[in-house]
Structure 1
């Protein structure tokens, strides 16, 4: 049976409200959760961005299911600090924490004042960071000179086992590369043909860990309400890499979007008011080859969605997946 998870969006809810939402998600029947890690939201209307590492500790303490997070080591986060944070979370909540590591986005990383490297350099930096983090989690003393530097670093409070370190990947090329170092793969919803290539490249390159899919959806009682919600809160979905990697400010995202193209937004977000239809659309994406799916309702108000998930969406999905 496919694992059905809840995505907690730091860009959209205050940390305290997001904490209550993830607790309610467990009560609603979700199998686990994941969260984003942003310094700023995508859009001014989203209006939030709590510190994920603080929040996830509270979320793990308030729940019993597994929770993971996205993280981009190498610029805003030094990999030694990341390793210490991951070690502490895993030691406190053994077997329940995981992280999906990526090369980052300028919107979160530009604040250091360092230049924003090309994607190829960011991947090299990520590879170095992963190596440092893994060595530290094994208890080694680490010195390193490269895109990142470390000097005689050591983590003293270690967990019994290292937490899983997954890779974030949008393209099939990145998925294939990540198979060499990642314990699993996390990607976002795209057309099934594109997702199939992402999974196939990861598997054919030797990737054996779980493949996870994040799905953005907008649910309301009518299609018009669901579309209006997506347009207000997740119109950034019409933009795609490499453009999204290089924009620095929410206002600049808004400017790049311009007039919202309805067809493009409906491709980026599953906009629906009918449970059966929504289940069919999610199941079609998962059938490509995913072991886990994380559902992100793009509204800032989560109570109604979680009630709908408990009564209709999750039972139907568990019967299909």
Structure 2
């Protein structure tokens, strides 16, 4: 059963407005939602970054949607504290919450004052964090010493079934690595062959569970407006790893992406005023073998996007894709 979800972008929208948008998205027919756990936006023009865990409690309480969050335990947030947050949401809203774990970005993590580790160290830290968190969510008392240190931690309030811990990956190498510990995978939607490469690497390494993709898109009734929105709000997305992992400030992201042109932004964001283009793009991702697609309209104004996609994109996908259901049936 394919899921079309709504991505709630804390980096771009105040948390109060974002809560209204996710409620609107449910009413429009989106079947699920997700967000990312950021301390800083990617760009000074985005200008927001609400606390994802506080917001998720309100979002889960005021909708019936399942929710996920992409987070990076190990530096800014200790894995025992992240496990406690996951367990609390899982206990309050059984079966409706998952967390995807990644190795993080310096723009969010440098605030601790600790050195930003190299990629290999971050990957070791992630694997250790995932193991510690899984044990805590199972009710164990955990002590650990390695890239992270845990002293006699226990999570006391837990759901009967631990929420899934998903791997967040953008490359086949990371996807294969996550297969050792993850209950599923989420990635950023690239072109068709790249999407298949990530999925194949995960499955070939023994990866289990559902696979999802986050799709960055820009829509407006006028093509020029859709392009302008993407250039203003998501120019940083043309940079890619390792720059996106290592840059420390929104101002530096803006400096490095100041000269982004139309060709570059169209490689990073699906841009079109034609809703049929967006239907085809989502269908391409699902045809590649993905179980869910979370739509992220990169503009700060979300209401028109939610209405348009609820009225024309979601019903079109429901009609044309085998196994896709309307949100009311999910």
The normalised TM-score by structure 1 is: 0.99
CA distance in 2, matches of 1:26, 1:281: 21
Q: Secondary structure at the match of 1:234?
A: helix
With 53-62 and 188-197 compared, the bigger mean Cα shift is at 188-197
Shift of 1:194: 1.1
Match in the other structure for 2:311:
311
Q: Secondary structure at the match of 1:213?
A: strand
Shift of 1:277: 1.8
Cα deviation digits, residues 201-235 of structure 1 (max 9, x gap): 10111112111000001000111010001111111
**Alignment of 1:302 onto 2:302:** yes
**Alignment of 1:84 onto 2:116:** no
Cα deviation digits, residues 55-108 of structure 1 (max 9, x gap): 001000000010110110000010010111111000000000000000000000
Pairing 1:161-310 to 2, within 5 Å after superposition: 161-310=161-310
With 270-279 and 66-75 compared, the bigger mean Cα shift is at 270-279
Shift of 1:288: 1.2
Match in the other structure for 1:120:
120
Q: Is the 8 A contact 2:68 2:98 kept in 1?
A: yes
CA distance in 1, matches of 2:136, 2:2: 32
CA distance in 2, matches of 1:223, 1:153: 53
Match in the other structure for 1:18:
18
Cα deviation digits, residues 114-145 of structure 1 (max 9, x gap): 00111111000000101110111111111000
CA distance in 2, matches of 1:2, 1:141: 37
Match in the other structure for 1:56:
56
CA distance in 2, matches of 1:113, 1:139: 32
Provide the aligned C-alpha RMSD in A. Answer: 0.8
Unaligned 5+ runs, structure 2: 322-330
CA distance in 2, matches of 1:284, 1:152: 47
CA distance in 2, matches of 1:56, 1:320: 32
Cα deviation digits, residues 141-196 of structure 1 (max 9, x gap): 11000111011111111111100000000000110110110000000011211111
CA distance in 1, matches of 2:187, 2:320: 21
Match in the other structure for 2:137:
137
User: Segments of 4+ in structure 1 off by > 3 A?
Assistant: none
Aligned residues: 321
Q: Is the 8 A contact 2:72 2:101 kept in 1?
A: yes
CA distance in 2, matches of 1:112, 1:150: 17
CA distance in 2, matches of 1:268, 1:73: 27
Match in the other structure for 2:67:
67
CA distance in 1, matches of 2:87, 2:4: 26
CA distance in 2, matches of 1:281, 1:51: 31
CA distance in 2, matches of 1:209, 1:159: 20
Q: Is the 8 A contact 2:285 2:293 kept in 1?
A: no
CA distance in 2, matches of 1:66, 1:200: 26
CA distance in 2, matches of 1:267, 1:286: 19
The normalised TM-score by structure 2 is: 0.96
CA distance in 1, matches of 2:12, 2:317: 25
CA distance in 1, matches of 2:173, 2:237: 21
Shift of 1:281: 2.0
CA distance in 1, matches of 2:317, 2:7: 16
CA distance in 1, matches of 2:155, 2:225: 50
